[in-house]
Structure 1
Amino acid sequence: MPAVDALALTSVANRRVKDLVRLRTRRARDELGVTLVEGHDELRLALRAGVVPRTLYWAPGLVSAERRGVVDELADAGVPVVGVSDAVFAKIAYRESPDGLLAVADAPGRPLAGLDLPPDAVVLVGEGIEKPGNLGAMLRTAEAFGVAAVVAASPVTDFGNPNVVRASKGTVFAVPVAAAPSADVLAWLRAHRLAVVVTTPQGDAPIGATDLTGPVAIVVGAESSGVTDLWLDAADARVVIPMRGRVNSLNAATAAALALYEAERQRS
């Protein structure tokens, strides 16, 4: 077994440490085509999805004995494993209460043309989603319901954002994902003959009265402004999620979860 206990990085001023910190920015991630996966559970799910990290950084002083196995597993598989001091890990970590595990991996996502859809596909489209926490939560829900793909249309945040990886609990690696301008996404959906169902407070019918049993794309808009006119004009159905409260808007992730649940209910 390769030796992994030696501390290769002990200074927060080390150039490699600074490069890792830079990966919190989208520009740096896009330049290298990578993302950061921090945390044992997120890393385990990514590994189960077939992710092979480029490098694993770990702090022996922070990793509990029961979680040491993932370090040895990756070292045995030939993944470079770099031991760091607790101070260095505190510098490179982006989570609160870090557990001492941080991997650099290829960024999730593929071109739209690379998505393979089954005949009865459910695709979740998020247009202009701004908050990494919402996009991550949408991915968790999509994975739970077996959605064929999650597509970010004209995205504000990227799938490789470390906070998306964290909020998704690593499911961003388990669900096929892609990002493209809204017009390209709409053309792709039409080419695959998916019904376009747009959620909007100004919907024409309740979502429960809309047929979601065939191949369908459920479109959820940005938190601040909802879907754009492009989607409203192109929609095969504009649906509303019935609410009794005085506030007629839902968190984007919650709206997606309710819509996907309804699709699953109808199909079951």
Structure 2
Amino acid sequence: MPDLLISSPANPRLKSLTALRRRRTREELGRTLVEGFEELSLALDAGVLPESVYYCPELMLDAPSQLAVVERARADGVETVQVSRVAFEKAAYREGPDGFLAVVPALVRRCADLEVGPRALTVLCEGVEKPGNLGAMLRTADAAGAEAVIAADPVTDWGNPNLVRSSKGTVFSVPVASDPTGEALRWLDEQGIALVATTPDTDLDYTDVDYTGPVAIAVGAEKYGLTEQVLRHAAYRVRIPMVGRANSLNVATSAAIVIYEAVRQRRRSSQHH
């Protein structure tokens, strides 16, 4: 069956794509957008089956090889739609699009749906507002081999196109969940996962904690940090020493520093056993 071809920027199908930039529409339809060759490739590798793939060979960096992703999706029964450059640029949500845009099922998962191992390394993000920060933390979690990332009392949704983009598609490779803070803390207790809360209001350095067992590293909202509810629940409250004039690190940077301390300890522990 030949692909559909869209040449007009006024095509109603493109309007339905731009509507998915809104969270309310994503939640109502249970769908979200993935833009970019790398992001779509990773989503497919993670077992995501798109509803449709829109592509524009004129915008591709290496059309002969990158079109294999379109063939792959088509072979799985996915609808593929070729789009003219002017029409694709109308539908794309980022500057300098590379010719790939897909509609995929929304990521809706609660903590109860997660499955983790006996020495799980997890990340708890409470009230983090900026999609770019959540995306950056997902990339770190993916690189570090974290088993789950939980958004507690989330301000944004995992299907936010800017989050998908900033995560480079790792939102599909790392198990993610959203829940109210109380539910997330309850789930951690049920799994026997110790909570390590990052805060400047402590004398315990982040390097002075044992991360080799099941542990969740918690970071809070960009402006206010973690709530008292999480801080009270924590087995440890840790700080990252800072001597500069700024009073805090970016939340994604803070998470990365502590996550990789956990990775360092775990590697050393495994080498000694």
Shorter-normalised TM-score: what interval? over 0.9
TM-score (normalizing by structure 2): 0.94
Report if the CA contact (8 A) 1:159-1:172 is conserved.
yes
Q: 1:146 to 1:109 in 2, by over 3 A?
A: farther
Report if the CA contact (8 A) 1:137-1:168 is conserved.
yes
Residue matched to 1:139: 138
Counterpart mapping for 1:104-143 below 5 A = 104-143=103-142
Residue matched to 1:167: 166
Q: Provide the secondary structure at the position in 1 that maps to 2:59.
A: coil
Report if the CA contact (8 A) 1:35-1:107 is conserved.
yes
Question: 1:34 & 1:110 partners in 2: Cα distance?
Answer: 14
Question: 1:189 & 1:74 partners in 2: Cα distance?
Answer: 37
**Unaligned stretches of 5+ residues in structure 1:** none
**Unaligned stretches of 5+ residues in structure 2:** 268-273
Task: Tell me the percent identity.
Answer: 54
Residue matched to 1:25: 22
Residue matched to 1:206: 205
Report if the CA contact (8 A) 1:109-1:176 is conserved.
no
Question: CA offsets per residue over residues 138-172 of structure 1, 9 Å max, x none?
Answer: 00000001101000000111110011110000000
Q: CA deviation at 1:212?
A: 1.1
Counterpart mapping for 1:1-268 below 5 A = 2-4=1-3, 7=5, 9-63=6-60, 64-268=63-267
Question: CA offsets per residue over residues 35-86 of structure 1, 9 Å max, x none?
Answer: 1111111111111111111100112322322211111221122110011221
Question: 1:251 & 1:115 partners in 2: Cα distance?
Answer: 27
Q: CA deviation at 1:122?
A: 1.0
TM-score (normalizing by structure 1): 0.96
- Runs ≥4 residues deviating over 3 A: none
Q: Provide the secondary structure at the position in 1 that maps to 2:164.
A: helix
Report how many residues are paired.
Answer: 265
- Residue type of the partner of 2:179? A
Question: 1:184 & 1:77 partners in 2: Cα distance?
Answer: 37
